[in-house]
Amino acid sequence: MTADKILVHFSQLFNPNDKGRALQGKEMNEATIIEDAYIAIKDGKILTIGSGQPEASLIDDSTEVIDYTGKFACPGLIDCHTHLVYGGSREHEFAKKLNGVSYLDILREGGGILSTVRATRKSDFDTLYKKSDRLLDYMLSHGVTTVEAKSGYGLDWETELKQLEVVKKLNEDSKVDLVSTFMAAHAVPPEYKGRSKEYLDLIINEMLPKVKEADLAEFCDIFCETGVFTAEESEYLLSAAKELGFKLRIHADEIDSIGGVNVAAKLHTTSAEHLMKATDEGIKLMSENGVIGNLLPATTFSLMEDTYAPAKKMLENNMAITLSTDSNPGSCPTANIQFVMQLGCYMYHLTPIEVYNAVTINAAYSVDRANEIGSFDEGKRADIAIFDAPNLDHTIYFFATNLISDVYKDGQCVIKDKQAV
Ligand code: NIG
Ligand code: FE
């Protein structure tokens, strides 16, 4: 079969080994690395990859051949944990943070997530849409072609619905693909202060069925944390969501270890997110129950915490891990997944290959899209991130600079020489 397009002479190409499930432990340090590589594309999908001169049978008069000498390529990056849609911003809390006021204290005083809830409730659909679209543009320009997006800054039906509809519309309009997560259990709304169980009942009895009915989210998530929702409450909500057919995620062991991981293991959630304070026992439980650990090192950085998630220990215990930005206005105001990947090496001491597997194939499994994305296997979407760097080590070593040169989405060049096409 001939290709529509062949991208040739990449100095290096990274392709994860798709084993039909997320890579675990030692497998995360394995991949197919090809020098002088090419990628053949047909109808927006991967036809084949290889090294050197592409076979003559791949090329006819209509095949476009594009030279990428000196550049590194990998599958489009997947940011599998973001709070993309929100009103306002929170730089006014930065001085407090610098003065040592903790994240949970700011929340307790009615700031933090609750400050963004007020701003999001006030923002109309168009304002939220434009703001989130801009963030998606930043992400795309950093090589990200799929983004998971959570609601959770409404904490009432009207605003949660508005956020989910923004995600739906962005998924239709944007070059980036979105995966929607319903997270009305992101905090206890002021109207329900001291009555978290009643709020969860409202979510279970009224919101979740409507989200399901309108097909507005695939996943359900909850913030299991001191002063937010307990492990028992998390199990209560996530069991009900599972019953309704939602796939599950949980924010667990972010600031305090209060049992969220046990809930993840018991309910076999797809992932447990953050895990800064994961314990040895928790790691064992996640490993045994196939829970993907989704790590967010830029959040640790931004919260100015000393303790990074025990990523190496997770791999030693045969866990599967992913990395993502957590992009949100409070605990992690960034859209730069490359910085997250670099922190993965600089702070977790992962290898570059472990990091690239985390943000491609494992992230694809974490959003249940591995049949379409996450590697260059034949028939998957031709989503490609191309770096102005000769090899994968260089993209990590030269940090905090956007090294993307070009991005392809479904076989179309959407970023060329760092500019949107
Ligand atoms: O993943 N931990 C809860 N949610 C976000 C923070 C949201 C915010 O501070 O606005 C997180 O860190
Ligand atoms: Fe988060």
If 0-12 CB within 10 Å is exposed, 13-18 middle and 19+ buried, where does residue 262 land? Answer: buried
Q: How far is the CA of 411 from the centre of ligand 1 (A)?
A: 34
At residue 290 the predicted structure's pLDDT band, cuts being 50, 70 and 90, is very high
Question: Nearest residue CA, atom 1 of ligand 1?
Answer: 326
Instruction: Band the pLDDT of 325: cuts 50, 70, 90.
Output: very high
Which of 83, 86, 118 maximizes ligand 1 atoms within 8 Å of its Cβ, making it the mutation to test the pocket?
83
Domain spans in the chain, listed from the N-terminal domain onward: 5-75+375-420, 78-366
**Structure confidence by residue, pLDDT tens digits, 115-166:** 999 999 999 999 999 999 999 999 999 999 999 999 999 999 999 999 999 9
Strands 219-222 vs 247-252: parallel, antiparallel or unpaired? parallel
Helix H or strand E segment including 176: none
**Closest residue to atom 12 of ligand 1, CA basis:** 331
Give 298's pLDDT tier (boundaries 50, 70, 90): very high
Q: Which two structure tokens, joined as six digits, stand for 142? A: 């950093």
Ligand 1: nearest atom to the Cα of 107: 9
Report the residue among 271, 331, 334 best suited for mutation to probe ligand 1: largest number of ligand atoms under 8 A from its CB: 331
Sign, Cα dihedral of 233, 323, 148, 125 = positive
Ligand 2 centre and the CA of 83: distance in Å?
6
Q: Ligand 2 centre from 82 Cα, in Å?
A: 6
- Ligand 1, pocket residues at CB < 6 Å: 83, 112-113, 116, 223, 251, 254, 299, 326, 328-331
Task: Please state the atom number of ligand 1 nearest to the C-alpha of residue 81.
Answer: 1
Q: In sequence order, what E strands does 84-202 have? A: 144-150, 177-185
* Six token digits for residue 63: 């095949």
pLDDT band, residue 360 (cuts 50/70/90): very high
DSSP-derived secondary structure letter, 89: -
Is the sign of the CA dihedral 224, 325, 302, 85 positive or negative?
negative
Stretch 377-388: mean pLDDT? 98
The domain 78-366 having CATH identifier 3.20.10.10: the answer here is no
> For residues 384 and 77, what is the distance between their CA atoms, to the nearest angstrom?
8
Ligand 1 centroid to 328 CA: how many Å?
A: 7
Residue-level pLDDT at 328: 98
* 14: Cβ contacts below 8 Å, ≥ 6 apart: 31, 32, 33, 72, 73, 74, 75, 353, 356, 360, 392
Q: Residue type for 288, please?
A: E
Contact at 8 Å (CB) between 221 and 270?
Answer: no
Distance 329 CA to ligand 2 centre (A): 10
Helix (H, G, I), strand (E, B) or coil at 39: strand
Q: What is the mean pLDDT of the chain?
A: 97
Minimum-distance ligand 1 atom for the alpha carbon of 86: 10
- For residue 329, the ligand closest to its alpha carbon is 1
Torsion sign (Cα): 210, 214, 215, 221: negative
Tens digit of each residue's pLDDT (9 = 90 or more) over 154-199: 999 999 999 999 999 999 999 999 999 999 999 999 999 999 999 9
pLDDT at 414: 98
pLDDT at site 159: 98
Residue 142 identity (one-letter amino acid): H
Q: How far is the CA of 161 from the centre of ligand 1 (A)?
A: 19
Point out the ligand nearest to the CA of residue 149.
2
What is the helix (H) or strand (E) element at residue 384, kind and residue range? Answer: strand 384-387
15-33: per-residue pLDDT in tens? 999 999 999 999 999 999 9
State residue 53's pLDDT score: 95
The C-alpha atoms of residue 403 and residue 421 are separated, in whole angstroms, by 17
In sequence order, the β-bridge partners of residue 67 are 8
Confirm whether pTM is higher than 0.95.
Answer: yes
Fold of 5-75+375-420: Urease, subunit C; domain 1 (2.30.40)
Query: What integer pLDDT is reported at residue 164 of this predicted model?
Result: 98
- Which residue bears the tokens 């996943």? 219
**The residue type at 168:** K
Above pLDDT 90, what percent of the chain? 99
Rounded to 10°, the helix 260-267/280-288 angle is 10
Quick one: which of 322, 339, 325, 332 has its CA closest to 403?
Answer: 339
